[in-house]
Amino acid sequence: MDIDFRKLRHVYLQERKSPQRLAKVPADFYDILRKYVEAERDALAHSPGVEDVQALMQFANLVKLVGDIISIRQRKIVQMAISASFSEFYEPENLVGWEREMYAEILNIVRRYREHALSLVGLGSGRPQKHEVPSAVPHDATPATAEPAVPPELSEPVQPTPPEPETAPETVRVRILKTIPAFIGTDYNTYGPYDVGDVVDLPPGVADILLVRNLAEVVNDEDSNAQV
């Protein structure tokens, strides 16, 4: 199967269209993806216009699209394994390659968890368990090395909860250092064109690509007003 960005985008849309079902892809889908990404990376590295932001963004979009497809299929496989844990084994449609093995392993883990959890609260079926959950210490035993219980009044004072880490900024303000034609960002939105000296607010993923190629520099909010 020959693949390009348009066909890969179609696979992505099919995955989004059917939340409970995997999109149909070739049996060697992951090999196809690997070869496609390697070919595009190689073409970008050997291109005379390696600083062309459009080419960089196209490759970044490809990486993001491939990651999105894999993430969607992963979530579906995990959810299907959880649902199947309540019934007899069945293999969902459109699993390919190593996904079958992953599905079987996840299903096995989920069933072992359910069987063991029910047995802990006395709701097990009473039948011999097919799988035993390994445990160095029985759930109802106290480890020999455990510290003796300390009365609450003698325990150390509760430490204050540390502040939550700051969230990443939604945009990064940059100054354009080279003329940049209009391009499609990693969020599939269109940016530009930009002239030298323009100051713009860009999503971090888009700004990072410009920064690492020395096509832009970060500026402080007070330096200048953003140009959209």
Which residues on neighbouring strands pair with residue 217, listed in sequence order? 175
Comparing 5-19, 38-52, 65-79, 192-206, which segment has the lowest mean pLDDT? 38-52
Alpha helices in the chain (DSSP H): 5-17, 29-45, 53-84, 99-120, 204-212
Which residue, among 204, 200, 203, has the nearest Cα to 176 in the 3D structure? Answer: 200
Please tell me whether residue 100 adopts helix, strand or coil conformation.
helix
Q: What is the CATH number of domain 172-218?
A: 3.40.5.50
Across residues 175-195, what is the average pLDDT?
A: 83
Sorted by where each begins, the domain ranges of the chain are 5-135, 172-218
pLDDT tens digit sequence for 82-125: 988 887 767 889 999 999 999 999 999 999 998 899 899 988 76
Q: Per CATH, the architecture of 5-135 is what?
A: Up-down Bundle (1.20)
Which residues are CB-contacts of 11 (< 8 A; sequence separation ≥ 6)?
A: 23, 25, 69
